[in-house]
Structure 1
Amino acid sequence: MMRILRSLPRTHKLLLLPVATMVTVLGAHKIVTTVEDVQRDSQTLDTVHVPLDPDASPGLPSLDTKRTAMADAFEMANRALDATRDHVPISALTASEIVDIDLIASVRAAKTEPGLPETLALPAVDDASRNGDESAVDVATLDEGARHMAVVIGTIASGMLEVDGSVVADATSYEDVSEDELAKFDEGPIVLEEQIVTNEPYVPQWEIYTVRSGDTFAVMAQKHLAMGYSEVMALVDTLPEPRILTQWRVGDRFEYQLDEQGDLLALRMMKNARDGYLVERQGDDFEVATIERAGEATQRLFAGTISGSFARSAKATGLTSAEVSQLSRTLEKKLDFRRDTRRGDRFQVLVESDVIDGKSLDPRVLAVQYEGERMNLTIVRNPDDNRFYTTDGKSLDPAFNRYPFEGRYRLSSNFNPNRHHPVTGRISPHKGTDFAMPIGTPVQAPANGRVEKVGNHPAAGRYIVIRHDNGYKTRYLHLSKPLVSNGQRVSMGDRIALSGNTGRSTGPHLHYEVLVNNSQVNAMKVSLPENQSLKGERLVAFQRQAEPKLAILESGQTGTVVASSDQQAPGNDEG
């Protein structure tokens, strides 16, 4: 055995250390007992005969009567030696009962913990060691890595970690570590929250700034947004409506985002609850996008009774000024408020609006029911063309409006072929109708058509000529500003110009002409085309869409009646 050990290089000797460790830790008691028995029997110490059990396995002597995990450890060591080139593996040796006792004498163990070896020494065996000269023995101290491997293998072999395939609970560390040694590697306490914050990427948050008295955007941007004066001016110039930043009012609010260094990333400003602008930094420049917020469509039913003027009675129901104005413009196409309304007449109005942040925006009259002494009228808005129709599909809008403007203006000069000229006194036919109105009053197209001419004349001033789809023509004279161009398509109600006092005119007014077969006619008396009506599939579709609105009018339950225009039945919220 010793000859084999001497023939092995140092590396392979270390591979045998797990076996030596197990022999030392687990079999020391049996070996020492055997030596004592030999000495008692006065046998020589050259060799010691260790009796084997009848069922012992070939190879190294068994230190236990049963085959345990130690045998597996021996086989593991043998496999490691088998991989060693040019040396005889232990597994190839012939079974023997003789062990050189010098192997036992040469093992040294110093312990810091009961049962756990700290250092192991394996002598370089020579003749001096055989003669008992311990001073001549070259003791090699086992390094920490090899010692750790030997202890772990020995632990596995002893069955401490596994019994019948199950891990036992008495496994433990094999060496104590002092506080001084721990302190060498102390990196301070680990705070979980700080570690998480450190690892998370930076996410900019929206912050809100409220305008205070005396604030200007230039000063505020330098203090809070880390912007220089030139950057402030560049941002203001980028906005389509710079006044949103230059004309602040106390209480105005806007939102902004900053990066990790505190520089501006984005700016969000709202003109109102629906519309606004988003400014984002792109390198050294700014990009502006339009914000359009969608509200929740909500419908409300209002009911009232005429007790004075129609406008005052409508406002008493809770309608806003904008809603009353829209309702009046809708009904005046069929209802003359001076002649047709009477005290005690009743009406109901279904209005839809978008609610954003609790505010009602963009009101739209959907349906009206008027029950009066002189007239009963029920009309519903058709979503397909945004016009009002009666329940049987007749349009509230005529195919040709009588007046080319909204509101009422004094008729200052009628159509009169025998009119005397106001300056010369001679008969000078007036082939149009004049309406006295302030300069800048909007002029509207009375029907669909195409602009035929936009021009300027010494007597007529600025003027427009439109050819309509039904073959009629209309002319507009003495305008201050045309709003259309030659060849442009216009629809009924489109603004085409602003009234004025250009050309030969005695005062601000609109000269309006209607031509049939290229001849001027009295615009106030000419027979205009019939109202447009819905027929066939268009009528069926309209009536299907009108049903839920008519059901709401019939219910008479005022207040919020449905959440959206798609609802089919009224609610129970009383107004």
Structure 2
Amino acid sequence: MMRILHSLPRTHKLLLLPVATMVTVLGAQKVVNTFEDLQRDQQALDTVLVPLNADASPGLPSLNTKRTAVADALEKANQALDATRVHVPLSELTASEIVDVDFINSAKAEPEIPQTLALPAHGDPSPRNLAEAVIPSIDESAKHMAVVIGTIASGMLDHDGSLMADATSYEEVSENDLDLFAEGPIVLEQEIASNETFVPHWETYTVESGDTFAIMAQQHLEMGYSEVMALLDALPEPRILTNWRVGERFEYQLDEQGDLLALRMMKNARNGYLIERQGDDFEIATIERAGEATQRLFAGTISGSFARSAKATGLNSAEVSKLSRALERKLDFRRDTRGGDRFQVLVESDIIDGKSYDPRVLAVQYEGERMNITIVRNGDDNRFYTPDGESLDPAFNRYPFEGRYRLSSNFNPNRHHPVTGRISPHKGTDFAMPIGTAVQAPANGRVEKVGNHPAAGRYVVIRHDNGYKTRYLHLSKPLVSKGQRVTMGERIALSGNTGRSTGPHLHYEVLVNNSQVNAMKVSLPENQSLQGDQLVAFQRQAEPMLAALESGQTGTVVASTRQQSSVDN
């Protein structure tokens, strides 16, 4: 048999290797089981019954392994198994004819598994036929011995025990595997179970027609009715949950049991609330989205009104309003503007989700037939100055209100009384305005009087720090009290139609040395300007904004924060 295997081509040897190995395994298993049976039956260890084929002949090479008790027992056994098998006394064999077997610990088959493998009596012992046979459980020691014997039987070793030229390994082993088993194989005593930590994630709910928060909270957030009421009571603005619109969205988090952990909702793109469960209570925090500060340059030409011309550049209504307020202290839009005048304005706003919020005018340049002016916002006090540091905020405002209202009656010492027709001097300036319009202090000062008069109606008198005095008549409601300190621009009252008045208006007086003067013509105190280190800091801050105005490149030409600006060329 060995000569036949040895004479086969290499490819045939490799094809027969699995079959030879399996047959050898079964033979090795038989040897082990026979030895075990002899021990169990307390038979004499004179001979070991080794089943051989009729044409088998001795001549297997020695493996030169350490001898064990099993090998000694094999040497002594010499009894025939049955008449159909060859009985070879071991004592008559030469040393090279004895197969030495070195078992690890003890070679043992599972007792409930059959000791022999029933192969087909006829036909090719192919892997498919082998797979259809009853495969016993083989001890690792017997399998190792069988692989070695099968290697010899398949012709991978020469008869003298030396390696053949075409011998090879039957499994690849990487360097990492060698390092891993440097100190022996790794044996896990027990399975290691890893517990995945629960991480809550945000889910989005979209309001549908007919939805109410109370029902939604019970169905999706596992909240009871009392919890819903407690949450609404804790919210500063419960209308955000009770007044829903179809299509509105909010986000929520649930724990492993499906109970509410957190709720996040926005009133608008900038502001909202975050609600988090803390035991049986709710903790509420406000959300303020700052957005990304972005600067844009707009340029236009006067054609018609200033407001219409400004909107034509792409400015929205809020931005046009702030631009008008920045220029109105230096520019009279009805008298000073002319068709063809050019202007540029640098606006900064917060971009949130692609939309612009909270616009801020940073710099304006106006080049007109009657006036040229450039102003820049100072980030330190949020006021406008010329590039030289001159303030646009005077120490005394000309008008005690914001916006523009019709001048219904001028200061006139020779005015005729509207009812009697007699000469009745009008020592103030009247502005027609709706009842409830805010009246502002034109300068810093202290409230001197607050009262109600049959002719003047409700009134307020303020003495200012520069010695001037102002009076406000026919008010609907004073907002200050006697002795109170007020600052420039602070609301002091609401206009009205009290006392002897022919219609809603504000009667405004300016007194210099306790004498009424024309408030529209009197010389007002000089405005305040920046000096020293304040001027240097302002001019350093204004430099990139002025460069943006000079560039003339409309659109998003500057990207910056409020603290630092840079030109995007």
Q: Which of 263, 284, 290 is 2:259 aligned to?
A: 263
What SS is found at the alignment partner of 2:286?
A: strand
Structure 1 residue 568, shift from structure 2 partner: 5.4
What SS is found at the alignment partner of 2:200?
A: coil
What SS is found at the alignment partner of 1:235?
A: helix
Partner of 1:310: 306
Partner of 2:106: 116
> More displaced, 385-394 or 477-486?
477-486
Q: Which of 200, 203, 209 is 1:204 aligned to?
A: 200
What SS is found at the alignment partner of 1:322?
A: helix
Partner of 2:548: 552
Q: Are the equivalent residues in 2 in contact too, given 1:555–1:570 (CA < 8 A)?
A: no
User: Does residue 234 of structure 2 align to residue 234 of structure 1?
Assistant: no
1:292-311 alignment runs, 5 A limit: 292-311=288-307
> More displaced, 335-344 or 429-438?
429-438
User: Does residue 348 of structure 2 align to residue 358 of structure 1?
Assistant: no
Structure 1 residue 439, shift from structure 2 partner: 0.9
Q: Are the equivalent residues in 2 in contact too, given 1:480–1:499 (CA < 8 A)?
A: yes
Change (3 A) 1:506 1:202: same
Partner of 2:328: 332
Amino acid at match of 1:116: S
Change (3 A) 1:415 1:282: same
User: Does residue 500 of structure 2 align to residue 510 of structure 1?
Assistant: no
Q: Which of 256, 273, 276 is 2:272 aligned to?
A: 276
Q: Are the equivalent residues in 1 in contact too, given 2:559–2:567 (CA < 8 A)?
A: no
Structure 1 residue 226, shift from structure 2 partner: 2.3
1:142-221 alignment runs, 5 A limit: 196=194, 199-221=195-217
Structure 1 residue 402, shift from structure 2 partner: 1.0
Structure 1 residue 362, shift from structure 2 partner: 0.7
Partner of 1:571: 568
User: Does residue 493 of structure 2 align to residue 497 of structure 1?
Assistant: yes
In 2, the alpha carbon distance for the partners of 1:239 and 1:219 equals 18
What SS is found at the alignment partner of 1:304?
A: strand
Identity of aligned residues (%): 82
Q: Are the equivalent residues in 2 in contact too, given 1:280–1:288 (CA < 8 A)?
A: yes
Q: Are the equivalent residues in 2 in contact too, given 1:551–1:569 (CA < 8 A)?
A: no
Change (3 A) 1:231 1:525: same
Amino acid at match of 1:350: L
1:440-519 alignment runs, 5 A limit: 440-519=436-515
Listed one character per residue, the Cα deviations across residues 404-453 of structure 1 (whole Å, up to 9, x for unaligned) are 11222222233345555555666655433221111121212212234444
In 2, the alpha carbon distance for the partners of 1:390 and 1:354 equals 25
Change (3 A) 1:478 1:256: farther
Listed one character per residue, the Cα deviations across residues 87-141 of structure 1 (whole Å, up to 9, x for unaligned) are xxxxxxxxxxxxxxxxxxxxxxxx9x797277xxxxxxxxxxxxxxxxxxxxxxx
What SS is found at the alignment partner of 2:535?
A: helix
User: Does residue 537 of structure 2 align to residue 561 of structure 1?
Assistant: no
The two structures, once aligned, show a CA RMSD in angstroms of 3.6
Structure 1 residue 474, shift from structure 2 partner: 1.9
In 1, the alpha carbon distance for the partners of 2:326 and 2:241 equals 38
Change (3 A) 1:504 1:535: same
Q: Are the equivalent residues in 2 in contact too, given 1:480–1:498 (CA < 8 A)?
A: yes
Change (3 A) 1:462 1:29: same
Structure 1 residue 567, shift from structure 2 partner: 5.4
Structure 1 residue 326, shift from structure 2 partner: 0.9
Change (3 A) 1:534 1:328: same
Q: Are the equivalent residues in 2 in contact too, given 1:552–1:561 (CA < 8 A)?
A: yes
Q: Which of 342, 346, 349 is 2:338 aligned to?
A: 342
In 2, the alpha carbon distance for the partners of 1:292 and 1:534 equals 34
Structure 1 residue 468, shift from structure 2 partner: 2.2
Amino acid at match of 2:390: K
Change (3 A) 1:115 1:498: closer
> More displaced, 199-208 or 318-327?
199-208
Partner of 2:88: none
Q: How many residues align?
A: 408
Partner of 2:31: none
What SS is found at the alignment partner of 2:543?
A: helix
User: Does residue 370 of structure 2 align to residue 374 of structure 1?
Assistant: yes
Listed one character per residue, the Cα deviations across residues 184-214 of structure 1 (whole Å, up to 9, x for unaligned) are x9x9xx8x9xx65xx2333322221222233
Amino acid at match of 1:550: L
User: Does residue 522 of structure 2 align to residue 532 of structure 1?
Assistant: no
Q: TM-score, normalised by structure 1?
A: 0.64
Structure 1 gaps, min length 5: 1-24, 35-110, 119-150, 152-166, 174-184
What SS is found at the alignment partner of 2:472?
A: strand
Q: Are the equivalent residues in 1 in contact too, given 2:437–2:494 (CA < 8 A)?
A: yes
